[in-house]
């Protein structure tokens, strides 16, 4: 997540696009095999790349940050909007240039775009050697071995069971303080605009005890924050095959919160139809469960929400927002908003604007609707809002959200927050950056003795729409 928010495209897939994962790799010996991986898309994709790195590690591949020395280049792709796919195609051209110079180089396409286009990818992009969907990463060593023999391979099998529960992710490009833990895969929601159910398959939850073990291991290795990831975490449900006991999301949260009071817990993404008061009360009960909820509204208008098949309406959503602030007055909420969905009128668009003010989002990820082939919306509704209208509405949404974020942040001036230090700020090695419980990024001058992974009280002195600045309490 970017320290400086670019509100035009703040979703992880854009702000982290192209970020290269690496860990220190041993020198290239000629025998050592190296892979280079780029990840696009949501946090789940970044988390998946760490699973891929672990699987490849088992067969002797080490990560490298330099594609020029890699034996294998992988690109973990996103299909959520057309723009995400265009970016991937451009990167493939760059990789293909490498391959023309080094014919032994292997190139693999992973993730959602691999799943969506399947074998077609090999026809369209002749220099790609393997196409691997999100549930088929265990097959990578076999596919790589095939590619080494010059065989092209595709595995886009979607599983009802795969959760990679037993794989210990290799933490790539890690700050050593914060980490993702994937708690479920797939999605059963069928929002009409969304390609995810087709690229990531049916929803399934991971064994609670393997999640706990991963959280404990991270804590023992010095990590101080975990983000539990799923397409819809509120529908997490794992049945213990031995006892028949069922663990729901609120119970999982509580279990992870008890790993250690100094281990912070975040989670993403919540669905407004599923987030229960039980989850909210559990959040309130534990200081180390962060007071921040990403609760995408998508649209503020009930008719559009129905067309989107979100299965809640404006009133329901507003009720959930009221419940959040009632149970946790210090909680922040963020959102995803789509402008110009099929048939959206100006009045309906106004309701998305008024929702930003009602919910007082600390920030939002905002998008113009992009029709995705094969989705229910593409099949049933005309993509009839002109592109320039979508963009203008998007600009209005961004402008309003920037103002609301600014006011939200300005109200923090003078307050003191417990901040988990993540590392140096982007601009200066004289400053640290870290987040408060509400997920706001806070930059402050370093103080002797403090290190990444420490908690420190910081008093806020300045605010923009994207960042807070402050000083360590007592140093004012
Ligand atoms: N067009 C625009 N935005 C989309 N999203 C998902 N599908 C589309 C689409 N077809 C947005 C939603 C979702 C976020 C991850 O991406 O807001 O919550
Ligand atoms: Fe993109 Fe969605 Fe796939 Fe994540 S799950 S990579 S956001 S298409």
Distance of alpha carbon 191 from alpha carbon 309, whole angstroms: 5
Q: Are 78 and 113 in contact (CB under 8 A)?
A: yes
Supply the pLDDT for residue 249: 98
Domain layout of the chain by residue ranges? 11-155, 178-397, 416-472
Q: Counting ligands in written order, which one lies closest to the CA of residue 365? A: 1
Terminal-to-terminal C-alpha distance of the chain: 29
Percent of the chain with pLDDT over 90: 91
Q: Which atom of ligand 2 is nearest to the CA of 45?
A: 6
Distance of alpha carbon 11 from alpha carbon 41, whole angstroms: 8
State both tokens at 88: 């991937």
94 C-alpha to center of ligand 1: Å? 27
195 C-alpha to center of ligand 2: Å? 8
Q: Counting ligands in written order, which one lies closest to the CA of residue 201? A: 2
Ligand 2 contacts CB of residue 199 (under 6 A): yes
- Judge whether residue 26 has pLDDT over 50: no
- Angle of helix 208-220 versus helix 249-257 axis, rounded to 10: 30
For ligand 1, atom 13: residue with the closest CA = 336
Distance of alpha carbon 110 from alpha carbon 52, whole angstroms: 10
418 C-alpha to center of ligand 2: Å? 32
- Judge whether residue 13 has pLDDT over 70: no
Supply the pLDDT for residue 173: 87
Ligand 2 contacts CB of residue 45 (under 6 A): yes
Mean of pLDDT values over 282-310: 98
Supply the pLDDT for residue 31: 59
195 C-alpha to center of ligand 1: Å? 9
81 C-alpha to center of ligand 2: Å? 9
- Judge whether residue 332 has pLDDT over 90: yes
Q: Is 93 left (phi over 0), alpha (psi -120 to 50) or beta?
A: alpha
- Judge whether residue 72 has pLDDT over 80: yes
Supply the pLDDT for residue 125: 86
What CA dihedral angle connects 185, 190, 191 and 196, to 10 degrees? Answer: 40
Ligand 2 contacts CB of residue 75 (under 6 A): no
476 C-alpha to center of ligand 2: Å? 44
- CATH superfamily for domain 11-155: Methylthiotransferase, N-terminal domain (3.40.50.12160)
CATH of 178-397, one of 1.10.10.10, 3.40.50.150, 3.80.30.20, 3.30.930.10: 3.80.30.20
Q: Are 72 and 144 in contact (CB under 8 A)?
A: yes
- Judge whether residue 1 has pLDDT over 60: no
Tally of CA atoms within 13 A in the half-sphere of 333 that contains its CB: 28
Ligand 2 contacts CB of residue 200 (under 6 A): yes
pTM of the model as a whole? 0.92
Ligand 1 contacts CB of residue 46 (under 6 A): no
Q: Are 211 and 236 in contact (CB under 8 A)?
A: no
- SS3 track for the chain: CCCCCCCCCCCHHHHCCCCEECCCCCCCCCCCEEEEEEECCCHHHHHHHHHHHHHHHHCCEEECCCHHHCCEEEEEECCCCHHHHHHHHHHHHHHHHHHHHCCCCEEEEEEHHHHHHCCHHHHHCCCCCEEECCCCHHHHHHHHHHHHCCCCEEECCCCCCCCCCCCCCCCCCCCCCEEEEECEECCCCCCCCCCHHHHHCCCEECCHHHHHHHHHHHHHCCCCEEEEECCCHHHCEEECCCCCCEEEHHHHHHHHHCCCCCCEEEEECCCCCCCCHHHHHHHHHCCCECCEEECCCECCCHHHHHHCCCCCCHHHHHHHHHHHHHHCCCCEEEEEEEECCCCCCHHHHHHHHHHHHHHCCCEEEEEECCCCCCCHHHHHCCCCCCHHHHHHHHHHHHHHHHHHHHHHHHCCCCCEEEEEEEEECCCCCCEEEEECCCCCEEEEECCCCCCCCCEEEEEEEEECCCCEEEEECCCC
Supply the pLDDT for residue 450: 97
Mean of pLDDT values over 32-58: 96
- Tens digit of each residue's pLDDT (9 = 90 or more) over 158-180: 999 999 999 999 999 899 999 99
If one residue of 41, 47, 48 were mutated to test the ligand 2 pocket, choosing by the most ligand atoms within 8 A of its CB, it would be 41
- Tens digit of each residue's pLDDT (9 = 90 or more) over 385-432: 999 999 999 999 999 999 999 999 999 999 999 999 999 999 999 999
Q: How confident is the model at residue 364 (pLDDT cuts 50, 70, 90)?
A: very high
Q: Which atom of ligand 1 is nearest to the CA of 296?
A: 18
- Judge whether residue 5 has pLDDT over 90: no
446 C-alpha to center of ligand 2: Å? 37
73 C-alpha to center of ligand 1: Å? 28
For ligand 1, atom 16: residue with the closest CA = 80
Q: Which atom of ligand 2 is nearest to the CA of 84?
A: 1
- Judge whether residue 28 has pLDDT over 90: no
Q: Which atom of ligand 1 is nearest to the CA of 336?
A: 17
Ligand 1 contacts CB of residue 310 (under 6 A): no
Ligand 2 contacts CB of residue 41 (under 6 A): yes
Distance of alpha carbon 294 from alpha carbon 90, whole angstroms: 31
- Tens digit of each residue's pLDDT (9 = 90 or more) over 130-166: 999 999 999 999 999 999 999 999 999 999 999 999 9
86 C-alpha to center of ligand 2: Å? 14
Mean pLDDT for the chain overall = 93
For ligand 1, atom 2: residue with the closest CA = 369
148 C-alpha to center of ligand 1: Å? 37
Ligand 2 contacts CB of residue 195 (under 6 A): yes
Q: Counting ligands in written order, which one lies closest to the CA of residue 43? A: 2
- Tens digit of each residue's pLDDT (9 = 90 or more) over 275-294: 999 999 999 999 999 999 99
Mean of pLDDT values over 85-108: 95
The CATH class that applies to domain 416-472 reads mainly beta
Ligand 1 contacts CB of residue 296 (under 6 A): yes
38 C-alpha to center of ligand 2: Å? 14
Ligand 1 contacts CB of residue 369 (under 6 A): yes
- Judge whether residue 234 has pLDDT over 80: yes
42 C-alpha to center of ligand 2: Å? 5
């Amino acid at each position: 997540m970017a320290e400086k928010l670019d509100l035009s495209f703040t979703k992880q897939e854009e702000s982290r696009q192209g970020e290269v994962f690496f860990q220190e790799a041993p020198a290239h010996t000629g025998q050592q095999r190296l892979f280079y991986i780029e990840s696009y898309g949501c946090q789940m994709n970044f988390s998946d790349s760490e699973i891929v790195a672990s699987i490849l590690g088992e067969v002797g591949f080490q990560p490298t940050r330099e594609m020029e020395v890699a034996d294998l280049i992988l690109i973990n792709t996103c299909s959520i909007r057309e723009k995400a796919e265009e970016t991937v195609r451009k990167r493939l051209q760059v990789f293909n240039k490498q391959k023309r110079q080094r014919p032994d180089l292997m190139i693999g396409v992973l993730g959602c775009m691999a799943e969506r286009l399947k074998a077609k990818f090999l026809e369209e992009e002749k220099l790609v050697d393997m196409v691997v969907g999100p549930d088929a990463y265990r097959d990578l060593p076999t596919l790589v071995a095939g590619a080494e023999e010059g065989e092209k391979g595709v595995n886009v099998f979607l599983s009802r069971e795969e959760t990679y529960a037993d794989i210990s992710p290799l933490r790539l490009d890690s700050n050593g303080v914060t980490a993702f833990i994937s708690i479920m895969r797939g999605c059963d929601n069928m929002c009409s605009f969304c390609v995810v159910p087709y690229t990531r398959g049916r929803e399934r939850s991971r064994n609670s005890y393997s999640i706990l073990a991963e959280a404990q291991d991270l804590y023992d290795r010095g990590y101080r924050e975990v983000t539990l990831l799923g397409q819809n975490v509120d529908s997490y449900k794992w049945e213990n095959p031995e006892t028949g006991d069922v663990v729901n999301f609120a119970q999982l949260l509580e279990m992870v919160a008890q790993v250690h009071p100094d281990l912070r817990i975040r989670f993403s993404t919540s669905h407004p139809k599923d987030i229960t008061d039980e989850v909210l009360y559990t959040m309130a009960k534990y200081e180390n469960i962060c007071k921040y909820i990403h609760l995408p509204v998508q649209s503020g208008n009930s008719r559009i929400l129905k067309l989107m098949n979100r299965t809640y309406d404006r009133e329901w959503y507003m009720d959930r927002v009221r419940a959040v602030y009632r149970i946790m007055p210090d909680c922040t909420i963020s959102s995803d908003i789509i402008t110009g969905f099929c048939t959206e009128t100006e009045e309906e668009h106004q309701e998305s604007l008024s929702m930003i003010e009602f919910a007082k989002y600390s920030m939002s990820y905002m998008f113009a609707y992009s029709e995705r082939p094969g989705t229910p919306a593409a099949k049933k509704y005309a993509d009839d809002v002109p592109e320039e209208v979508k963009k203008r509405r998007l600009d209005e949404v961004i402008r309003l959200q920037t103002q609301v974020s600014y006011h939200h942040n300005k109200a923090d001036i003078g307050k003191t927050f417990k901040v988990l230090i993540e590392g140096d700020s982007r601009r200066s090695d004289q400053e640290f950056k870290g987040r408060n419980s509400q997920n706001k990024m806070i930059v402050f001058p370093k103080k002797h003795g403090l290190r990444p992974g420490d908690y420190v009280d910081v008093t806020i002195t300045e605010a923009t729409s994207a960042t807070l600045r402050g000083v360590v309490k007592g140093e004012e």
